[in-house]
Amino acid sequence: GDSVTQMEGPVTLSEEAFLTINCTYTATGYPSLFWYVQYPGEGLQLLLKATKADDKGSNKGFEATYRKETTSFHLEKGSVQVSDSAVYFCALSGRGGGGSQGNLIFGKGTKLSVKP
């Protein structure tokens, strides 16, 4: 079945460091891909998304490119801040696809801690 694999955390970085969180997926068809972020004590929020191959999603300085050839959607940010400390989830749209987010399949999450 469809699945998402993320790099295991926790990831600890100093402020202004470069961030990469790896995400690869297995899916039939052409799913949409998402990154969600969960700040401490809160629910998940959509960070960015890409709906087709070679699309780049971006938001708040974060970027991820939908790479069909490598089945990847790695999250990157050039200069992280303390406020970026959170858990990051990669996800794909499950059965019913078409970009529908309701039946999301999530990765296990990667905890990021940014130190001043």
Residues from 78 through 97 that contact other proteins (CB under 8 A): 87, 89, 94
Cα–Cα distance for residue pair 102/95, rounded to 1 Å: 10
Judged by CB under 8 A, which stretch of 19-27, 60-68, 78-86, 103-111 contacts other proteins?
103-111
Total number of residues shown for the chain: 116
For the window 9-28, what string marks contact with other proteins as x by the rule CB under 8 A? Answer: --------------------
Can you tell me the distance from the alpha carbon of 107 to that of 98, in angstroms, rounded to the nearest whole number?
A: 19
> Which CB sits closer to other proteins, 14 or 60?
60
Query: Binding of other proteins at residue 99 (CB under 8 A)?
Result: yes
Query: Which of 28, 43, 69, 116 is in the footprint of other proteins by CB under 8 A?
Result: 43
Instruction: Report the C-alpha gap between 62 and 77 in whole angstroms.
Output: 5
Question: What residues line the site for other proteins (CB under 8 A)?
Answer: 41-46, 87, 89, 94, 99-104, 106, 108-109, 111
